[in-house]
Amino acid sequence: MTATTSAISRKELFLKACRGEAVPRLPVWMMRQAGRYLPEYREIRAERSFLEVCKTPELAAEVSMQPFRRLGVDAIIVFCDILIPAEAMGMELELGDAGPNLPAPIRTKADVEKLKLFDPEKETAFLPKAIRRIVREAGADVPVLGFAAAPWTLACYGGRKNQRRIRHR
């Protein structure tokens, strides 16, 4: 932290900014911050698949912490994929060179009815384990952010063709 923010923690800086309150500076974090540009990330990905990294708490925590250690950002984004909850709800999730894909996207009411409720501590237990590891290493004063796909994202997943189809219904 810089001298101008030493009196305010990362957590308080982030929360004040979220509430629209005055802050000495804007907090910084980056989407895809654990991305392809970090050599330590590329080393892990050279040996492990994307989903394996997401679903292995030690690896997900490590990849999440890398930009925090290297760049000193104000918040840590949990390394995971926004479609992990969809997979836990019973949707097939594939990961190819073009990124994650839902081969059978939701199109009908019947598709929605096939989705299942899930217990995050069972079907996605790797995620809270990764978050706990991140908090232990970074400290409780560093915000930890996560993202998941909203229904619109799931309905549109698969490119512009799917988006056009959804918008015109």
81 carries an active-site annotation: yes
> Residues with Cβ < 8 Å from 160, sequence gap 6 or more?
none
165 carries an active-site annotation: no
Take residue 75 and report the two structure tokens written for it. Answer: 């918040």
User: Which listed residue (10, 25, 36, 136) is catalytic?
Assistant: 36
User: Which listed residue (45, 48, 133, 165) is catalytic?
Assistant: 45
User: Which listed residue (10, 41, 74, 157) is catalytic?
Assistant: 157
32 carries an active-site annotation: yes
Task: Determine the length of the chain.
Answer: 169
Give the count of beta carbons closer than 10 Å to the beta carbon of residue 17: 15
Alpha carbons 60 and 41: distance in angstroms, whole number: 10
48 carries an active-site annotation: no
CA dist 47 → 44, 53, 55, 59 (Å): 6, 10, 14, 11
Using CB atoms within 10 Å of the CB of residue 76, give its burial: 0 to 12 exposed, 13 to 18 middle, 19+ buried.
buried
157 carries an active-site annotation: yes
User: Which listed residue (10, 41, 74, 81) is catalytic?
Assistant: 81
User: Which listed residue (25, 32, 69, 107) is catalytic?
Assistant: 32
Active site (catalytic) residues:
32, 36, 45, 81, 157
